[in-house]
Amino acid sequence: MIVRRFLGWIETAPAGKRAEGASALARAYLYSALAPDVMEEAAVALTSLLDDPSPLVRRAMAEAFASAVEAPHHIVAALAADQSDIAAIVLARSPVLADAELIDCLAIGDVFAQSAIAIRPRLSAPVAAALAEVGAREALISLAVNARADLPEFAMRRMIERMGDDGEVREALLSRCTLPVAMRHELVVATANALSSFVTARAWLSEERARRVAGEARERAVLTMIAEAGRDGARALVAQLRRTGALTAGLVLRSILSGDLVLFESALVELSQLSAARVAGLLREYSGAGFAALFKKAGFPTALLPVFRSALAAAREQSPRSEGGVGAGLSRPIIERVLAALPRRADGEFDRLFALLRRFEAEAAREEARLAARGMRAGAPAEVDLEAEIALVLSQAAAAEALQEGSVEVLTVSEIDTDVLDRDAELPDGEVLREAA
C-alpha cells in the first residue's frame, strides 16, 4: 500500500522531492526487511522512475544503486545507458555489470562513460584491453593511473601505438610500477624525441645540438632503468635496445664509466649469444685473451679494447657499484683514468673518442658540483648577510692582487665594486673546457 501511495505522490511532487523519494525507496529496497509483495511493488515503482523526465530522479537512483550487489540488474543496466553524468555513476562502481556489458558501454559511450569505466576498482584485463583499443585520450590516462586495473602488456603497447605522442598519456603510463622496462624505454625515447622537436621548432637549439642533448638524456635514462631493473630486467632492456638500434658502444662505455657493469655484461650476452655464466667468467678476467675474443665476437671495435680494459679496471676498484642499482651518474675518477690510458696517435683515430670522454668528464664535473652545492646549501646557516660575505671575499681577492702587483693599498669593504659579479671573468687559455664538435 505504501508503494502505491508513493506512486500517486510523485505524480504532483516537484523534481527535487521526487529525487529524494526515489533515493529513499531505493535504499528501502536494498536494506529494509520488506515483505516479498512489497519488494515486488517497490521494484516496479523504481523501474517506472527510469522514465522520469528529471535527471535528478535518475541520478538519485544511480547513486543509491551504484555500489550495491543486490541492486536490480535491469535498473542498473538502464542507468548505465542513460546520459553521461548519470551513467558514469554506475559504470564506475556497480558490481552488477558484467565485463561484456562494460565493453559494450565503452564502445558506444563518450569520454565521460569511458573514463568512469577506466577508474573502476579491480578492472578486468578484457575491459582494460578494450579501453586501450577504442578509448579516448582522457579515458586512457584514467586507465593508466588506475593502479588496481589489470592492464596487460599488449594493451599498454597498444596505448603507446595510439597515443604515444601525447605527453600526459606517456606520463600516466610511466607512473605504473608494473610497466615493463622495455616499454618504459620506449616512452622515454618518445619523450626525448618530443622535447628535441620542441626546442628545435622554437630555434632554441640547433637540430644537431638538440639531437645530441636528447641522445645523452636517453642514455642517462637507460642507465637509471638498468639500475632499477636488476639483471633480468637489464637483459630484456638490452634486447629492446638492440632491436631499436640504440645499443651503441657509446652507451656501453657510459655505463662502465658510471661504475655499473650490468649493462655491459648483458650486452655481451645478447651480442655474443653465449651463456650468462660464460660471459661473467670471461668478464672477470678482462685482461686475458678470452675476454678479447668475446669482445670481438660481440662486434665491438677491436681498437677500443684497451680503452674498455682500462675502464673496467677503474670500475672494478669501485666494486659496490659494479653489481648495479646505484644510479646512472658518471664517475670522474674512472673517466680520468681512461683518458690517461688513451693512446695518442698522429692519425687522429681516437680524436672522436677523446672528445666523447671530455664531454663525459665535463658532465661528471657538473653533476659533482650540483651535489656539492646542494650539500653546502643544506649546511649553510639559516640567516646569512650575503652582501657582506661577497664583499669580504672580493676585498680579500683585491688585496691579494694588490700585493702581487707590489702595492700595499688595502681596500675597504665599502670601496669594493660589487657590480663585478655581473661581469664575465676572462680565464687564462687552457682553463676553459670547450666542447668538441
Q: E strand or H helix at 334, and its extent?
A: helix 332-341
Q: What is the structure's pLDDT at 388?
A: 65
Q: What is the structure's pLDDT at 74?
A: 93
Domain assignment present for residue 407? The answer is yes
Instruction: Quickly tell me which residue has 584485463 as its cell.
Output: 125
pLDDT at residue 324 above 70? Answer: no
The larger pLDDT score, comparing residue 79 to residue 434, is at 79
Q: At what angle do helices 153-163 and 137-145 cross, to 10 degrees?
A: 140
Please enumerate in sequence order all residues whose Cβ is within 8 A of that of 259, keeping only pairs 6 or more positions apart, or say none: 315, 318, 321, 322, 326, 331, 334
Q: Quickly state the pLDDT bin for 225 (edges 50, 70, 90).
A: confident
Q: What is the structure's pLDDT at 305?
A: 85
Domain assignment present for residue 197? The answer is no
**Gap between the Cα atoms of 63 and 78, Å rounded:** 14
pLDDT at residue 1 above 80? Answer: no
Read off the pLDDT of each residue in 138-159 and give the average, rounded to a whole number: 92
| 196-205, 311-320, 416-425, range with the lowest pLDDT | 416-425
Pull the grid cell for residue 136.
579516448
| 29-33, 140-144, 179-183, 279-283, range with the lowest pLDDT | 179-183
Distances (CA, A) of 402 to 33, 248, 392, 409: 99, 54, 15, 7
Single out the residue of 236, 113, 232, 145 nearest to residue 156, CA to CA. Answer: 145
Per the rule left: phi > 0, alpha: psi between -120 and 50, beta: everything else, 230 is: left
Instruction: Find the distance separating the first CA and the last CA of the chain, reported in whole Å.
Output: 91
Range of the domain at 402: 386-422
Query: Among 133-147, 392-406, 423-437, which range has the highest average pLDDT?
Result: 133-147
Burial of 57 (0-12, 13-18, 19+ CB in 10 A): buried
Q: Quickly state the pLDDT bin for 263 (edges 50, 70, 90).
A: confident
Helix, strand, coil content of the chain in percent (nearest 5): 70, 0, 30
**Gap between the Cα atoms of 300 and 311, Å rounded:** 15
Domain assignment present for residue 395? The answer is yes
pLDDT digits (tens, 9 = 90+) for 388-405: 656 666 676 666 666 665
Please enumerate in sequence order all residues whose Cβ is within 8 A of that of 312, keeping only pairs 6 or more positions apart, or say none: 256, 261, 283, 286
Q: What is the structure's pLDDT at 405?
A: 59
Give the CA-trace dihedral at 124, 126, 132, 136, to 10 degrees.
-80
The larger pLDDT score, comparing residue 214 to residue 291, is at 291
Domain assignment present for residue 397? The answer is yes
Q: What is the structure's pLDDT at 65?
A: 94
Give me the half-sphere count of Cα atoms (radius 13 Å) on the Cβ side of residue 377: 6
Domain assignment present for residue 352? The answer is no
Contact 16, 56 (CB under 8 A): yes
Residues in the chain: 437
pLDDT at residue 322 above 70? Answer: no
Instruction: Quickly tell me which residue has 643544506 as its cell.
Output: 378
Q: What is the structure's pLDDT at 247?
A: 85
pLDDT at residue 383 above 80? Answer: no
Instruction: Quickly tell me which residue has 597498444 as its cell.
Output: 158
| 18-27, 169-178, 202-211, range with the lowest pLDDT | 202-211
pLDDT at residue 108 above 60? Answer: yes
Domain assignment present for residue 4? The answer is no
Provide the domain count of the chain. 1
| 50-59, 126-135, 137-146, 346-355, range with the lowest pLDDT | 346-355
| 264-268, 321-325, 430-434, range with the lowest pLDDT | 430-434
Query: Among 185-194, 270-279, 323-332, which range has the highest average pLDDT?
Result: 270-279
pLDDT at residue 177 above 90? Answer: no
Read off the pLDDT of each residue in 273-290 and give the average, rounded to a whole number: 87
Read off the pLDDT of each residue in 327-353 and give the average, rounded to a whole number: 75
| 91-95, 121-125, 394-398, range with the lowest pLDDT | 394-398
**Gap between the Cα atoms of 169 and 156, Å rounded:** 11
Contact 123, 149 (CB under 8 A): yes
Domain assignment present for residue 410? The answer is yes
Mean of all residue pLDDT scores within the chain: 80
Q: What is the structure's pLDDT at 203?
A: 78
Read off the pLDDT of each residue in 309-337 and give the average, rounded to a whole number: 71
Distances (CA, A) of 159 to 174, 185, 189, 282: 12, 15, 15, 41
| 169-173, 194-198, 220-224, range with the lowest pLDDT | 194-198
Q: Quickly state the pLDDT bin for 140 (edges 50, 70, 90).
A: very high
Q: How far is CA 52 from the centre of its chain?
A: 47
**Gap between the Cα atoms of 8 and 398, Å rounded:** 97
Q: What is the structure's pLDDT at 286?
A: 85
Write the single-letter amino acid at 63: E
Q: Quickly state the pLDDT bin for 87 (edges 50, 70, 90).
A: very high
Please enumerate in sequence order all residues whose Cβ is within 8 A of that of 66, keeping only pairs 6 or more positions apart, or say none: 89, 90, 92, 93, 94
